[in-house]
């Protein structure tokens, strides 16, 4: 399939596909004259790249993983597992930070409500 069809099927822009090829994230496809010809394996690879990006992986991180592929093109699972574990730990830390901020918002709301109640009480006492 040509790059336009690959782009439509995956939702990845033509510009992004070319960029991924340029930085070595995906392999250069076969060419038929001046046109790139992509096989179905690119559908899976681009889908995995999109998923990884949504999960917080940068192109640089993905490129490092892609460069570590074996001679047969296999992704080294130990490296991938390590990177996924690191992302998981980062997300758990972020989750804890968010939980603390949510608790802080409740505390702030209660503090302001208490302040307002005290202020209103003092205004009533003055009258």
The pTM of the full predicted model, rounded to 2 decimals, is: 0.74
How many angstroms separate the CA atoms of 10 and 82, rounded?
Answer: 27
**Structural domain count of the chain:** 2
| Residue 56: both structure tokens together | 């917080």
CATH of the domain at 7: 1.10.1660.10
Question: Which structural domain, as residue segments, surrounds residue 123?
Answer: 76-127
Return d(Cα 117, Cα 123) in angstroms, integer.
Answer: 10
Q: Do 1 and 53 lie in a common domain?
A: yes
Under a CB-based contact definition with an 8 Å cutoff, are residues 17 and 26 in contact?
yes
CB 38 within 8 A of CB 1: yes
The tens place of each residue's pLDDT in the chain, 127 residues long, gives: 999 999 999 999 999 999 999 998 998 899 999 899 999 999 999 999 999 999 999 999 999 998 888 777 888 899 999 999 999 999 999 999 999 999 999 999 999 999 999 999 888 877 6
**Segments of 1-127 assigned E as strands:** 30-32, 35-37
């Amino acid at each position: 399939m040509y790059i336009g069809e690959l782009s439509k099927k995956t939702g990845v822009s033509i510009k992004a596909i070319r960029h991924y090829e340029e930085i070595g994230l995906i392999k250069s496809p076969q060419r038929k004259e001046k046109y790139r010809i992509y096989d179905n394996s690119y559908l899976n690879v681009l889908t995995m790249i999109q998923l990884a990006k949504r999960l917080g992986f940068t192109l640089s991180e993905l490129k490092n993983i892609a460069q570590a592929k074996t001679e047969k093109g296999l992704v080294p699972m130990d490296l991938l597992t390590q990177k996924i574990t690191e992302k998981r730990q980062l997300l758990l830390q972020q989750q804890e930070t968010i939980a603390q901020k949510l608790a802080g918002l409740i505390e702030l709301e209660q503090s302001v409500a208490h302040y307002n109640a005290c202020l209103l009480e003092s205004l009533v006492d003055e009258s």
